[in-house]
Each structure stands twice: as C-alpha cells, then as structure tokens.
Structure 1
Amino acid sequence: MLFSESPEDPFALRHGASAVLDDHGIVVGWSAEAQELLGYPAKEVIGRAWQGFLIDARDLPVAQAAAEDAMSKGGWFGILPILHRDGRRVEMGFRARAVTRDGDGQEWLLVGAPAAEVIAWQRDRALLDGLYHRSPIGLVVHDPERRVLRINRAIAKASGIPADLPVGLPVREFLVDEDAGPAEERVRHVLETGEPLIFVEQSARTRHDPRRERFVSVSAFRMEDPSGRVLGVAETIEDVTERHRAQRRLTLLNEASARIGTSLDVTQTARELAEVAVQGLADYCSVDLLEPVTLGDEPAPGVVEPLVRVALQPPERRVPFQEGEMVLLLPESSQARCLTERRPILEPSLALRPEWYAMDPRRIEMASGLGVHSLIAVPLMARGLVLGIVSLWRSRHSEPFEDGDAAVAQEFASRAAVCIDNARRFTQQQSAALTLQRSLLPSAASDLPAVEVACRYLPASGEPGIGGDWFDVIPLSGARVALVVGDVVGHGIHAAASMGRLRAAVRTLASLDLEPDEVVARLDDLVSLLAAEREANADGDRSTDEGVLGATCLYAVYDPVSRNCSMARAGHPAPVLSTPEGQVTVLDLPSGPPLGLGGLPFETYEIDVPEGSLLTLYTDGLLQARNGDIDPAVERLCDRLSHPAEPLDRACHSVVGAMLPTDHLPSDDVALLIARTQVLPPENVASWQLPLEATSAARARELTSAKLDEWGLTELVFTTELVASELVTNTYRYAAGPVTLRLIRTQSLICEVSDTSHTSPHLRRALSTDEGGRGLFLVAQLTERWGTRYTHDGKTVWTEQLLPPA
C-alpha cells in the first residue's frame, strides 16, 4: 500500500479522490470518490487532459509550475484550486507520485482531498510531533497494565530516563516509592472508571533527584479505539513547583498577617511568629529579643545584646537554647553578622561551626543530631531600631533555603517586628497608665460616721488597656457622705488622666454642698468644655486621643441623721440597695444622659435607707465581664448582695468571684463600692427652733452650753457659745423666717444654723475703725472648718470643731 490508511489520513485511498494520468497528462483513471467530490463522471474525463477541464485559466501558471516540480522530483504535495463541474473553484490538497508501469513508460497517481481536511490533518500531525519532542509539558502514555509505553522529552529531562528506552517500565522506575503509589492509583482510577482528571496537583520526587521536591499538575484521560476497546491512559504533567511555592509563600504571608499580633504581649507575639514560620517555611525557628524589649523598654541604638530566647518552635528539649535562656553570639556567627549588618543572612548549605552556639560542645552535638543544613537569620527591626533576631533552620529531610524563602522570612519578620514594637510600647504605656490610675484612686476610706465602706478596682486585660473607672468616698458637712462611681470612655493613659481630672472636679463640687443633680450637671458642663478644648488643641490631628470624649457618673449623698439618700446619675448603671431583711432592689432612679452631651436635665432621686442597709455602686464592666448579657448578670449580682450582715470585705470578694471570670482579667475596668449605712444615735444630735428676734442669740448660748455640759464637752463651751451666737445674730440681721440650731457630736462637734434665706454670708476683714464685721472672721478662726450649704428651703451655715482628747 503506497499511502497510510489511517482513518485520520485524508489521502487514504478509501477516503480521498484519486485519478491516474499518463505521461502526457491525459486522464486514464477516475475514482468514484473523485466523481462525488468534483461532479465529473468517469466517462466525461477519461481521455481528456487534466488542465483542460480541472484548471481555471487564471490558475494555469500555478498548475503548470506544480506539474514541472512534480516531474523533476518524482512527486509533489500541495494545494491547488480545482474547477468543479458546476463551475465552482474548490481548494484541494494533492499528493502526486510517479508510478512505473509495465514496459518503459510511467503514470502519475494523484490523490486529493478538500484543502481544509488536509490542513487539519497536517496540524494534527504537527501537534503530535510537538507533544513528544518540543512541548514543555510532560506526556506519559500507559498501557492497560499501567506500564509506561512512551514519554516525551520533558518527562525524560525531569526524570533522567532517556525517552527512547524500551517500553514497559513501571511508574516506580521514575518516582520514589512514597510518590509512586499515588501516581499508580491515579492511573488505575482513570482506567477503571473512564473519568478524566483535570489539573490535580501533588508533590513528586524523582529517583534521579530524590532530595528535590517538585509539585506537578496532572491531567489524565482514558484512550479508546473506535470500537471502545481500552488502549491505555494518557497523562499530561506540568511542573508547577515555582507557582506552588509562590502561592505557598503568599499563603504564609497572609497567615502571618492574621496570626501574628493578635495580642499586645511581647512574648506571645514572638511565639506566634515562630509558630507561623515552622508551619510553612522552616523545620525549626527561634526568636531572640534584646533584654530591654522583653521588659517593655526601648533598646539603645547600636546595642545588639544581651539577647533572650523568648520563643522556640517546636519546643523540643534537645534543641539548643530553651525559652528564657540568655543567648550569647560570637562576632563571626551568622546571627551576629545579621544584627550588626542589619540585613538578612542566607546560608543555603550550612556546615556546623562552633560559633553557632557560643562554642558550647554540648549544643553543637545537639544541632548535629537534628541534621540542620540551611539557615536564614533575619533582624527584627522597627522604627530603625533592632529589637532582636529570628533564626530559621531546615533539617536533613528538607531542601535548602532559597532567595525566595529569605524574602518571605524578611517580610513576615518585618510585620512581626512592628507588632512586637507595638506590644513593647503598649506594655510601657500600660505600666505608666496603671501607675497613674492607682495613684489617682482614693486610698482605703477612713472611719466615717455615716457609712462603712469596702471597695475593689480591677484593671482591664492587656489588650484594651487601663480604663477610666473610678470611685470615691467624700465626707461632707453635717456628718453626711458622698459616694461616687464614674467611668470615662476609652482606655490608656489619657483615659486615666481624664479620670483624675473628673475625680478632682467631683471633690471640688462636693465641697460646695450642691445637690446631686446640680453636681452631675456641672460635671456635664466640664466634660463638654474639656472635649471642646481637645478639639481645639488637636487642630485636625485625630492621631491622638487626649482629653475626655464622654463619661458616666453616679453621685449619691447619704445623711446619717435623717437616713435620707439622694442621688443622681448620668448614663451610669443604677445602684443596688440591700435592706437588713435581705430584700435586694435595683433602684429605679432616672438615668440621665451620659456626661458630655450637654443641655439635657438631670434629676435627683431620694429614698430613706434603713440602718444597716448595703448601697452598692459599680461600673458597667462588672456586668459585662462574662458574656455581655446584662439581665442574668444583674440577677447574679443581686443574689450575692442578699446577705447584708456579711462583712463588707467578704461581700466584695463574693461579688467579684461571682461576676468576673476566674481564668483571665476582664475586658473592661471594674470599680465596685459597697457602703453599709449607719445612723447617728438620737442622743448625739440636738436641734432647736428659735424665733427670729433679738433674744435668740442669748437663747442659743444657753442651749449650747447646757448640751455641751451634758455631752462632757465643757472645754468647747466658750468657743461653741460664741460661734452659735454669731451665726444666730447674722440670721436675725440679714435673714427671714424661723431659725434652726443643731448640734451633732461625731468624731467632731458640728454646729449648724439654718434659715429660709438663700443669701450667703461672706467673710471679710473689718477695718480698725469699723464697729462690726468681725463675727464671721472670729468663727473662721475658732473652728476647724466652716461653710454654707443650700437647700430648697434656704441655707445652712455650719462649723466643725475637733473634740478634745478623751
């Protein structure tokens, strides 16, 4: 047979159009396929010259040139336009070959097919040839017994096996045993199911280079003949090692961004860095930080030791240097050069040297047992300062580090360095803020006649930082006491400083004996003023958070004489009252807006409190410490406060234990203040109503003298008579309505004169020529303290004197 009869060959005699020409170009044979393709029956063409009816006059030169070429070479192949019987021009591909006939003559056999089919056939042959000889993508053909029939040059180059080796090699001749199993299973699956595989990625190591791990993308399909008989499996294998490594490095960087810096703790951040490194880049990783960095201090420029190992992964005891150990580096070591030159050091092929571990033979022996052979040392730098170093090792079963690995190590080390520096600075700021917070909070409350108090303050966990929660117990005139709890919005040193400013303002306002709603209203004005100052000082820079942005506050005043408690709040949680009978109530006083909104009113809530009751004030961190669900938290708080006779320190401990998690600090500051109310005995309080007449001063002296003699305070009779007389006289001269004189004996002697006037007396220095104006001056000189407080019905001028020693 002269030509291939492959079904795909357009020149096969059973498919192509054929004709036979003699030496003069006369048609002597014409096939049925030619008749079907060109429309000429055999009887019309036999005996005619082929140029006369098959070639258009315009194409005659081209046809004549092809004929001459064929005669000179004994054959020809090409494309010619041929005339169809209906006059159409048909592009056809031809093969022409000279055939010797009996005798001394020769004939020409022409086989033709449509040009499109010929071109497609040529393209397929070129593609097949390219797949085996020029394609960069590997090609493997397996027989039905899963033996390798043929490989192309790409596979031959990668595997080290010549492409012309005899057929029948098993896959295990190409791949190491652990990689050959999945490859054979993949071929078996395609053979049995006929399901193709598309771009399946897997690792592969060849027997030619077993240490080098490659990643390939495999596609496979089952081969069948026209009858459906299985001929084998064809696989295309593309080496995607670089793409896979690039993707893995990118994934590692993304993971590093998500996992490094989740906390503001220096050691935890270093451990996160080491954990990320050993999961995708190295077999061993250590992080060594300069000692000042571990303490939250800023390292000195140019100083690169001493180093402390703060993280090691995996944490094996046989690895040189454990966490917490000091690390000493000799000048010639790779890590020392990394720190002094402030650049990454890559050693792909690393020979063990004594300077690795400060010439410690024991540590060198440990490293030798691990089989480490490649090192990357990267400095941890932030803001131009060296904070430490991260060291990455690969052991005997891994490939050496490459430049791409060093670039990735430097990238996530840079990110980690910023996180470590932020954690270091936060630790420093947290320590300063906590110190400031502690110094601004009150010390243990002294013995007060009105209440017995116990308090707790718990700072927030490290992440949010110190907040602005505070409490205070302020003695007031008339043996009363003010109980205050507040919460400044925000965390950090600015919140602590703002808390101190507000606490000082509350103490100043409390000394004026204002009503609770007025105290809160003036605090609201102050917060608004401070916020305005912050806006003005910021000058458009929002990078700092100075000043007060907002706050909440609860201010309560308890009178041990009347048992009355008046309070007002600005957006703060309501207090809890526990009566001696064990009844616990969350007081429903008007909430009021948070401080700083401005222009909204506040209301005073009053309640009579039985002696021995517990009044509990707290910040919202106490209720939100566990899961943020307020109602169950309030119920739990009330349950813990249902035993009012319990010692206050024990009650505070019980509340903290029930409300706060035991395994970690709360996410917000917590301030807790519990006060047990006390009532002054009736025999320690004396009150008289005096008429507004000239004899009232004398009457006041008589009553005062008699009561002080009864109390055994004879030493204070003269002074107290003078004080009472002067205050009553001023009332007679400048006020109106009835006058009330009251004496209270506590740790001091309190003298109060009340009237219905809101005019406040003023202290002045009388001239030597003045006949009066010295009374209030004498009162101020003879007493420890004095002042004026206003009520809805008038005012009260009060004084305090220290009791004589017992």
Structure 2
Amino acid sequence: MGAWESASGVTGEPVAFSWAASAVLGDRLRVHGWSPAAQELLGYPPEDVLGTPVTRLVGAPGHYHGEDLPPATLGPEGLARDLVLRHRDGRALHLAAAHRPLPASPGGQETASLLLLAPAGELRDWETGQAVLRALFTQSPIGLTLYDTELRVTWANDTCAREMAGSPERYRGLHPDELVPGGEILGAERPGGLRALVRGVLETGEPVIDLHYRGSPPEDPAGERIWSYSYYRLLDGRGRPVGVCEESFDITERYRAERRLHLLVRAGERIGTTLDPRRTATELALTAVPQIADRVAVDLYQDVLEGRAPRGAPHRERPLVRVASFTAPSAAAGLPAALARDARPDYPESSSQARALRGGSAVLDPDRGAGDAPGLSTLAVPLRAQGAGLGLVTFVRGGGWPPYRSDDRDLAEELVRRTAVAVDNARRYAGEHQAAVTLQRDLLPGQLPSLSAVEAAYRYLPADSRVGVGGDWFDVIPLSGCRVGFVVGDVVGHGLRAAATMGRLRATVRALAQLDLAPEELLSRLDDLIVQWAEERAAPEEGGTPHEETTGGTCLYGIYDPVSQRCALARAGHLLPVLVTPEGRAALRELPSGPPLGTGGLPFESTEVDLPEGSLLALFTDGLVEARDLDLDEGLDRLTRVLAGPARPLDRLCGEVLGVLPSPMTTDDAALLLVRSRALAPGSVVSWEMPAEAAAVPELRRRAREQLAAWDLDEFSFTTELIVGEFLSNAVRHADGPIGLRLIRDRSLLCEVSDASLTSPHVRQASMDDEGGRGLFLVSQTAQRWGTRYTRTGKVLWAEQPLPPAA
C-alpha cells in the first residue's frame, strides 16, 4: 500500500513504482528512458525503443478516448483506463496508463514527462481491494486492532475508536488486557488471561476464533459489554511475524438474548417438577440466581399453601409466608442484613413489593432496593394464575450489576408466569398431598437411628403419588446388647387401608422386637396377630356384610450382633436379601423359605449368617425389582450388579440403585433398606464366667470396678457395682450352672449377667417390713433401661447406663 501511495504523490494516480512499467518521454513523445519493468511488460529491449516515438507501440487508433496517445502537455487529467499497446510478439495488451509532466531541470529547454503503465486488470483488482480496505477502516462494524510483537496497540480502525469512545491515540501502546480493565474471558478457563492468549497466537500462529470477553469500556464503566474477539498472526513478505490482528464485534445484545433463551429453557426443565409449591418456589430461586439476580425471595399467601382457593380480599388481609429464597454466595456480604436473611414478608405500602401486589403487575425500581436500600436494583413481580393472586417474587441486584431494565422485567415475568402455573397446580392438590405426607411421616421412619452396630440408609418410592404411601414398610430397631434388628415388609394391596395395615405391622414388630424374640418367633407371633385381624375384619358390621378384603403380606426380619458379628435372619414369603462381602462380591443369600403372613399355623425357621465388618445386606420389596416390563430374575440381576464392587457411601449406593431400578412401568411401591455391618471398637467388650457361688459376687464386682477404672469411667463404679451385685445375687440364688458377666462400652455402658435359668425377675413394690425385694427397684431407678433376654441356654439380665459424649 505504501508503494501505491508514493506513486500517487507524483502521478496523482494509484500506479506503483515498485512494479509499474515506466518510460521517460521527451519532445514529440520520444522515449528517453525505458525501465526493466517496461521491457518485461512489452517485450522491447531499451535499444529498440530509445529515441523512437512511443506512439508506434499503440495497438490501434481510437483505443484512447478515440484519439492517439495524447501529447505530454495534456496535463494531470490524462489517464487511460483501457489503453491497448502492442507487445513485441504481436499481442495486444490492455493497460492502464498515467502520463504526467516531470519538473524541468534548471536551464533545461526540453520538456519531459513520465509514462507509467500497468495491466488494466490488476488496477481494477487493486481498486476493489482498496475499496474493501477503506470500508473495513471506516464503515465496517467489525473493530480492527493491530498489535506489534510486544503486544502493544499500534493502530485501530474507526469502529474501535467509536467503541472505546475516544481517539486511538489514547490507547496506543496498551496491551490487550489493558484496553478494558477488569474484563474477563467467558466460557472455558484460560490460564494467564487475555495477554497470554494473544501471546500464544503470536508464537504459535494458531488463530483464536470467537472468544467471548466481558467488561466495561473506560469511558463507560457502568455499561457492561460483551465482545466476540478473534486473533490471527500477521507476517511480513519474508514470512516473519510482525504482530497480531484483533477483530472485535459487539455481541452484547445477542449474548443477552441467548442467555435469556437459555434461562427459559432451563426454567422449563427445572421449575414445576413436583406438586410441592415450596419446592417449585425453590426451583425458581435456584434458576434465577445468579443468572438475573443476586437474590430471589418467593412469598406465597397462607391460603394458597393450605390448598384453599385464592380469595379476592385485599393483599393486606392475606398473610404472606416466605417459602423460598436464595442469595448468591459472592453477593451475600454486599446485601443489607434485612435482605440477606429471610425476614417476615411484611412490606411497607410504599415499597415496590406492596405496589406490585396492589396493582397486579411488575414494579421495577432500578435505583432502589427492598426497604429503599440505596445502591440496589429491585424488581417485584406478583405471582398470578387465572386472574387470582398467589404471592410475590422479589428479584434484587447489588452494585456489581447494571440496574434492571425493561427486557429484564419481561424475562422475570415469563419466569414467574411459569412458576405461577406450577404453584396453582400444586395448590389444587395441596390438601390431599399434605394428608398423604402426614400419613407417610407417621407410618414410616422419618430418620433411621444412628447406631454403632450398623450403618443404614433407605429409599421409599410410593406407586400412588396422590396417596403418598402404600403397603411397603421397613424399620431399624435398636436392641439390647448393642444389637440391632431390621425389617422389610410388604402388605397386600394399595391405598390408605393398606397403609394403615402397614402402620399397625410396623408398630407391632417394634413392640415384639423389644421382647428380644428370635426372628422366627417374632414372625410366628406376627402371623398370629394378622390372622386375628383378618378374623375381626371378616366379622360383619352391625346391619352390614362381612369385609372381603384380604389381610396379609410378606416380611423379612433379622438381628445383627456386633460382638459376634453374626446375623440371624428369617423370612415370611419375602424375597431373598442380597449379601455383599467386604471384598465387593454380591449374591442373593439363601434363607429357609417361610409362608406369607396371614396364612396361619405354619412354622418359620431362621438361619445365622456371618457378617464381617463392612458386609452389606440389601433388603427390598418386589416393587423395586419386578414390573410389567421387568422380569423378577432380571430385576434381581440388575440389583446385584449395582451393589457389587468397592464399598461406597450408602446414600450414594441408594442413588445408584434408583438409577437403574425400579422400572418406570412399575405399579407397586418400592422400598430399599441397606445395612452395612460394623464391629465394636477393640477392647470395648470384656466378659468373665464363674461358678454360681456366693463368692463369685464380690470377685466379679471387683473385676467390673477395675475395668471401669481402665476405661476412665470411675464415676460409674457405684451404680455399676450396684447393678452387677443385684443381677449376680439373683443368678446365684435362682440359677444352676455357671454365671457370666459381660461389660460393653459403647455409646452407653451395658452390664449383662447370664445364667442357665429361664426364670425372669420382676420389679415389685416392697413393703416397709420386707427384708428384700428392693434390688431390682434400685436397678430400675439407676439404669436408663434394663430387661431380660432369653437365649438357647438360659437368659441374660441387662442394664444400660448413658455415657456422656466425652466418654
């Protein structure tokens, strides 16, 4: 470009000395000078043309404005766009020509002129390129910035000057990341920032295309902008890097539109996934923060939460309840305390929230916050469905955002409209849903107990979502001696009646478990009770007919002892459990088959299974592994494959199971209970055995006292010796054979005395003149719990004392 400009300084036309053919003409247009380029262009060597008129080279008259080549005195206006000259080989060449006088030498008499020739096609291409370059420099919406090898600005076009709101001289010499201070690259993480990225383009030659960059120009610090940057390396004629060119295009509006569309798509996926209005409100808050707000608070009217139809009363007569709110962690410190916490939604009449509720439309306060807090921008949008008010949503922005605008309001209103539809649907079923949730909370364990013997987790999926629960149930029951009982069952049928039967069964099993019954005995007694219930249901009501409903079900019950690390299991028509060894091998554990509950008269049988520490038992109902499109064997195989492998957290494992089971086509409830065995800490269990003689009592009391001292539990010596002494005295007095004492230090201190007698002592109220009968009464007053547990060889008297957390 520089060569063209230098030629135009002499000729006034864009013909470059660097490659144009030139001839110096004298009087009568005789050739006095002939350049190598002219020889190359026309084929004539200098000796053939010097001293001869140049007109003899003209191909034909009339090719230059209908005349021969004009005289040298024509002046600066003489330019032929399509001059035809003859090549030495006879070819006709279409050329562009510039003919200009040359300054006369001092004292010179002869006038001279300069003739420059170039192919006409190259001139047209050059002019087209010049027009394109001129448009890029002055008219194109794409900004162009050139950086040298030091990554400093050397030149920028007019578009960059307009975007930067100032002359390029003001930012010449700056680095790429200094043009927009505080800007950031959007999308993928780029180590080192923008300057390192441009340095990489200069060094490697690999271009960067469509890099999104966010920032505020120095001349408009409050106006956030988004640019699309592209970078490519510039090379000189020898292929050496001379800098980097940056193309920039303002995509702020496009970026905002894409972000709004993406947010609406995300809202469609996340908002209204359940019939719980609180969950729906939370989904809205999590969707909007931090996309369009630093904080979102959702308030619903109390009557909407209760499932009642919205009233037409003034909003001040309908109390609001804060049901969901979320604040971006990065913005919590910058918000006033009244906004950062979930205060009671009581808005002054002048607030934007109260005005939105009164008017039924969004209120935008770009320079005011909730409670007129300065420096915040607030947007209050009422929740309305079918013309009725359901509540209010408040969007708040801190100082790091531009104030809310009309397009932000339109987006917020669309989000709230979608939320209002979901909330209104939830309101219609809120009463029914609340009854189901209450029933489920009452009939199933809301939280499993924390025990030393096992770690447990569960999942329960009701098939009838409107009822909330069905006939499947489970439980984990703490027992004496650090043992734990666990049960899973399935009641015949669905609906509220099946749920009520399930609740009765769960309560009955807990009561029977506290009697320390063996698994097979517990199932026998449970079967008897169900038969009695069925008979009661079969009896006709007064003036009515007998019930024809079937009462029954299946059950699997087990007891795990962390001292022996063995588990006794029995089942009543239930599916076999899956046992996973500590090494990760999983398989169905074979157990004796028992009849379903409610058949009556048939015996049950239990078996003992070794459960080393880290073993996992999975108990479940058929709704988890069987459906119309899922064969039972295939369901069991899927479950076994998921449970196999290295040990994982039980909650995570439950989630993995639900990732493949149950089938979407299941019509039954599904319950899953995972139990992982633990062992008591080493040294936490000690035991002694001695003959049933009176001399054994003081000796065992002494050993118990010494063991408590070793455990740093001296403060429990008095009560422990009292309990041990009373239990041992009972055993010596009423039992035959050896007696044993066992102390267990766990979350509580357990004392157990075993003997071969099946006689169970009872607490009685001793009279004033009785010499005995007060021992067990004292035990019951000093111990937290105590009782009798029968074994195959006798019984065990046990007592439990709570330990402080530090112990």
TM-score by length of 2: 0.53
Task: Report deviation, 1:160.
Answer: 3.4
CA contact (8 A) 2:623 2:668 kept: no
**Alignment match, 1:33:** 37
**Alignment match, 1:254:** 265
Q: Give 2:76's aligned amino acid.
A: K
CA contact (8 A) 1:306 1:326 kept: no
1:657-678 Cα deviation digits (max 9, x unpaired): xx999x9xx9976599xxxxxx
Kindly indicate whether residue 379 of structure 2 is the aligned counterpart of residue 376 of structure 1.
yes
**Alignment match, 2:237:** 226
Alpha-carbon distance between aligned partners in 1 of 2:153 and 2:340, rounded to the nearest angstrom? 52
CA contact (8 A) 2:29 2:72 kept: no
**Alignment match, 1:320:** 338
Q: 1:140 to 1:219 in 2, by over 3 A?
A: same
Kindly indicate whether residue 173 of structure 2 is the aligned counterpart of residue 168 of structure 1.
yes
**Alignment match, 2:83:** 80
**Alignment match, 1:709:** none
Alpha-carbon distance between aligned partners in 1 of 2:79 and 2:409, rounded to the nearest angstrom? 61
CA contact (8 A) 1:623 1:634 kept: no
Task: Report deviation, 1:299.
Answer: 0.8
CA contact (8 A) 1:469 1:486 kept: no
Q: 1:67 to 1:295 in 2, by over 3 A?
A: farther
Greater shift after overlay, 72-81 or 156-165?
72-81
Q: 1:110 to 1:302 in 2, by over 3 A?
A: farther
Task: Report deviation, 1:273.
Answer: 0.5
**Alignment match, 1:737:** none
The alignment yields a C-alpha RMSD, in angstroms, of 5.2
Match of 2:355 among 310, 334, 337: 337
Alpha-carbon distance between aligned partners in 1 of 2:74 and 2:464, rounded to the nearest angstrom? 93
Kindly indicate whether residue 135 of structure 2 is the aligned counterpart of residue 136 of structure 1.
no
CA contact (8 A) 1:459 1:467 kept: no
SS of equivalent to 1:124? helix
SS of equivalent to 1:144? coil
Match of 1:423 among 398, 423, 426: 426
CA contact (8 A) 2:207 2:233 kept: yes
Kindly indicate whether residue 195 of structure 2 is the aligned counterpart of residue 184 of structure 1.
yes
Task: Report deviation, 1:377.
Answer: 1.6
**Where in structure 1 are there 5+ consecutive unaligned residues?**
358-363, 442-457, 472-483, 489-494, 501-555, 561-568, 589-604, 636-658, 673-806
Task: Report deviation, 1:188.
Answer: 2.4
Task: Report deviation, 1:378.
Answer: 1.5
**Alignment match, 1:611:** 601
Q: 1:52 to 1:227 in 2, by over 3 A?
A: closer
**Alignment match, 2:112:** 107
1:153-302 correspondence runs (5 A): 153-165=158-170, 167-171=172-176, 174-177=179-182, 182-301=193-312
SS of equivalent to 1:390? strand
Match of 2:122 among 117, 120, 123: 117
**Alignment match, 1:464:** 465
Alpha-carbon distance between aligned partners in 2 of 1:325 and 1:4, rounded to the nearest angstrom? 73
SS of equivalent to 2:102? strand
Kindly indicate whether residue 405 of structure 2 is the aligned counterpart of residue 402 of structure 1.
yes
SS of equivalent to 1:175? coil
Task: Report deviation, 1:380.
Answer: 1.6
Task: Report deviation, 1:286.
Answer: 0.9
Task: Report deviation, 1:246.
Answer: 1.4
Alpha-carbon distance between aligned partners in 2 of 1:28 and 1:633, rounded to the nearest angstrom? 103
Q: Give 1:345's aligned amino acid.
A: V
Q: 1:258 to 1:30 in 2, by over 3 A?
A: same
Task: Report deviation, 1:270.
Answer: 0.4
Aligned length: 507
**Alignment match, 1:508:** none
Kindly indicate whether residue 346 of structure 2 is the aligned counterpart of residue 346 of structure 1.
no
CA contact (8 A) 2:285 2:298 kept: yes
Q: 1:330 to 1:584 in 2, by over 3 A?
A: closer
Q: 1:79 to 1:282 in 2, by over 3 A?
A: farther
1:450-493 Cα deviation digits (max 9, x unpaired): xxxxxxxx99659932279689xxxxxxxxxxxx97657xxxxx
Task: Report deviation, 1:93.
Answer: 2.4
Q: Give 1:320's aligned amino acid.
A: A
Task: Report deviation, 1:129.
Answer: 3.5
Name which one, 1 or 2, has greater alpha-carbon Rg: 1
1:615-649 Cα deviation digits (max 9, x unpaired): 9xxxx9942359989569999xxxxxxxxxxxxxx
CA contact (8 A) 1:101 1:107 kept: yes
Task: Report deviation, 1:300.
Answer: 1.3
**Where in structure 2 are there 5+ consecutive unaligned residues?**
8-12, 186-191, 444-458, 473-489, 501-530, 536-547, 558-567, 576-594, 606-618, 638-653, 672-807
**Alignment match, 2:623:** 624
Q: Give 2:409's aligned amino acid.
A: A
Task: Report deviation, 1:107.
Answer: 2.7
Alpha-carbon distance between aligned partners in 1 of 2:61 and 2:403, rounded to the nearest angstrom? 73
**Alignment match, 2:153:** 148
SS of equivalent to 2:214? strand
Q: 1:285 to 1:3 in 2, by over 3 A?
A: closer
CA contact (8 A) 2:325 2:342 kept: no
**Alignment match, 1:600:** none
Task: Report deviation, 1:302.
Answer: 5.6
**Alignment match, 1:92:** 95
Q: 1:46 to 1:459 in 2, by over 3 A?
A: closer
SS of equivalent to 1:397? coil
SS of equivalent to 1:418? helix
SS of equivalent to 2:338? coil
1:731-770 correspondence runs (5 A): none
Alpha-carbon distance between aligned partners in 1 of 2:569 and 2:322, rounded to the nearest angstrom? 56
SS of equivalent to 1:624? helix
1:500-515 correspondence runs (5 A): none
Q: 1:67 to 1:286 in 2, by over 3 A?
A: farther
Q: Give 1:307's aligned amino acid.
A: L
SS of equivalent to 1:106? coil
**Alignment match, 2:320:** 307
Q: Give 2:433's aligned amino acid.
A: Q
SS of equivalent to 1:280? coil
SS of equivalent to 1:73? coil
**Alignment match, 2:21:** 17
1:325-346 Cα deviation digits (max 9, x unpaired): 5423344322222223222222
1:506-585 correspondence runs (5 A): none
SS of equivalent to 1:422? helix
Q: Give 2:311's aligned amino acid.
A: A
Alpha-carbon distance between aligned partners in 1 of 2:136 and 2:320, rounded to the nearest angstrom? 58
Q: Give 1:254's aligned amino acid.
A: V
Q: Give 2:193's aligned amino acid.
A: P
Q: Give 1:18's aligned amino acid.
A: S
Q: 1:671 to 1:131 in 2, by over 3 A?
A: closer
**Alignment match, 2:58:** 54
SS of equivalent to 1:59? coil
SS of equivalent to 1:61? coil
Q: Give 2:361's aligned amino acid.
A: R
Alpha-carbon distance between aligned partners in 2 of 1:133 and 1:184, rounded to the nearest angstrom? 27
Q: 1:242 to 1:30 in 2, by over 3 A?
A: same
Alpha-carbon distance between aligned partners in 2 of 1:387 and 1:325, rounded to the nearest angstrom? 19
Q: 1:346 to 1:81 in 2, by over 3 A?
A: farther
1:285-310 Cα deviation digits (max 9, x unpaired): 11111111122222113643322111
